[in-house]
Structure 1
Amino acid sequence: MSGKVIKIKPKVLIKMVEERVTGENIAGEFLMPPSYIGSLTLLESAMLLAFIKVIRPIKVFEFGTFMGHTSVFLARNIDENGVVYTLDIPCEDVDRKSFDSKAEEVDHMLRLQSVEEQAKCIEKERDEIKAKIVRLLCNSLTFSTSELTKQCGLIFVDGGHETEIIKSDTQKALEMLSEGGVLVWHDYNSDVFTDVTEFVDAYSVEHSIFHIAHTNMAFMWPGMEPELLALHDVNQ
């Protein structure tokens, strides 16, 4: 792996939760992983749950709604008064016909599927969970973060996979990230979406970034690096 991304075991995050949640069993509401491409594995969902248990965010932001599976998972597991903002591209912006790479072709296919399916996981969810989800139909390149500046404790970047979009989404994520919050990228180390890995590796030269083993997740958690590194050293 190039760059300075630090690979940690999943139990590093699990240990962080165990040290904070001591008087009860650690539990969450999980959904069966769907069959379509780009969805979270159970382990990746568990890692998002670990971030939620440590941070207890009131506001969560997701770049890339797709079917809404992750949106529902997040909404089920944040506090009762929490909100999940999930952004996806509107149908009028999905019009590209030619592609320069396999990743661009797959991204286009996913966008078309997203438009056709209309976040079906959200629509099928029970009302009290749907009420915690705010859908934003907007091209992330033109999205304004002004109303959410420094307010989101967990931000999940899983939208467009081209370098231009990843760079823009990352910058906007940092604008919205609250103190103590975590920024998570999906599709890191993917065989298809190589731009994500290249961007994150380059970004890690000047920022502390971690990759969770056995997942396609990388994350940046400002202020938590000493604890993460200490647990990483213990669990080598």
Structure 2
Amino acid sequence: MNQQSNPSRITEIRPKVVFQAVENRFQDQNSEFTVNIPSSAIGGLTLLESAILTSFVKLITPTAIFEFGTYMGATTLLFARNSPTSTSVVTIDIDPDTTVTQNDISEADYLSDGDANDEHLKDIFATNGAIYIDRAEAELKQKIIRIHQDSTSIDPQQQKFMKRFQLIFIDGGHDFNTVKSDTENALKMAADDGIIVWHDFRSQIHDDVTRFLDGFATEHEIIHVQNTMLAFMLLGKYKEILI
């Protein structure tokens, strides 16, 4: 793997390392994916980030995917549309119908302060709900299981999530305690062979994600894809897929 380590012990790789892994696996065919035009609303993925996540789906063909943070459902739909027909996508977020909004947050605040940004995202979520899922085709909706619950309150064992998911995406609450809780649950829920991905690493406003992962990386091998806010951890046999 063509890589270098930064002082935080998190390994840096170029996006092409992920794309080359897909090319190596599917040498006799074109590798394609489908994505919505990125939303103009704050909080979505870039096209490059969408391509990286879809590449992970192509590489491991997961039977089950879990997403912390549904938001408007664009990433949920990305997973559903680009995974095998039999794959289930479970996504968790608070209930938009019961979310208390703070519509007086200024643009200057939500573009510079992480807590204000999260509150602004809640406002968007409360107003729109998971609109990408709501307007998707019926066959894609059937693949998606939506849970309306605070992610920090889930019990993986009680909900039969232990070691169930080959791909887990953490992009819910961005405060340190929520990222920590979601990560701890993800480790319980991840299959022996799997990938855990975090969004907002090195975000200019959600610095708790970076702070958590810098500490987490002292005991776990974490990889950051350059020019994205994606960091990930490979488990089991997938530790070798980028070599």
TM-score, structure 2 length as denominator?
A: 0.88
Contact 2:90 2:144 in 1 (8 A): yes
The SS at the match of 1:184 is strand
Q: Which residue of 1 aligns with 2:14?
A: 9
Q: Does 1:20 align with 2:31?
A: no
Structure-2 separation of matches of 1:138 and 1:83: 18
Structure-2 separation of matches of 1:175 and 1:96: 32
Structure-2 separation of matches of 1:2 and 1:91: 40
Structure-1 separation of matches of 2:127 and 2:148: 14
Q: Of residues 31, 42, 46 in structure 2, which corresponds to 1:41?
A: 46
Contact 1:55 1:180 in 2 (8 A): no
After the TM superposition, which residues 107-126 of structure 1 pair with which residues of structure 2 at under 5 Å, given as runs? 107-126=118-137
After the TM superposition, which residues 42-81 of structure 1 pair with which residues of structure 2 at under 5 Å, given as runs? 42-81=47-86
Letter aligned with residue 131 of structure 1 = Q
Deviations 1:123-145 (A, max 9, x none): 11111111111110000110121
Letter aligned with residue 104 of structure 1 = D
The SS at the match of 1:60 is strand
Q: Does 1:140 align with 2:151?
A: yes
Structure-1 separation of matches of 2:66 and 2:130: 16
Deviations 1:15-50 (A, max 9, x none): 111111122111111211111112111110110111
After superposing on structure 2, the runs of 4+ consecutive aligned residues of structure 1 that deviate more than 6 Å are: 96-99
Contact 1:103 1:193 in 2 (8 A): yes
Letter aligned with residue 182 of structure 2 = D
Structure-1 separation of matches of 2:79 and 2:240: 26
Task: Count residues in correspondence.
Answer: 228
Q: Which residue of 1 aligns with 2:87?
A: 82
Structure-2 separation of matches of 1:187 and 1:154: 17
Contact 2:11 2:224 in 1 (8 A): yes
Structure-1 separation of matches of 2:240 and 2:142: 37
Letter aligned with residue 115 of structure 1 = A
RMSD of aligned C-alpha atoms?
Answer: 1.9
Contact 1:187 1:216 in 2 (8 A): yes
Structure-2 separation of matches of 1:96 and 1:88: 15
Contact 1:93 1:139 in 2 (8 A): no
The SS at the match of 1:165 is helix
Cα shift at 1:225? 3.8
Cα shift at 1:108? 1.2
Q: Does 1:131 align with 2:142?
A: yes
Q: Which residue of 1 aligns with 2:172?
A: 159
The SS at the match of 1:195 is helix
Contact 1:208 1:225 in 2 (8 A): no
Structure-2 separation of matches of 1:102 and 1:128: 39
Letter aligned with residue 121 of structure 1 = Y
Q: Does 1:173 align with 2:186?
A: yes
Structure-1 separation of matches of 2:113 and 2:19: 35
Where does the alignment leave 5 or more consecutive residues of structure 1 unmatched? 232-236
Letter aligned with residue 163 of structure 1 = F
Q: Which residue of 2 aligns with 1:198?
A: 211
Letter aligned with residue 19 of structure 1 = N
Q: Which residue of 1 aligns with 2:220?
A: 207
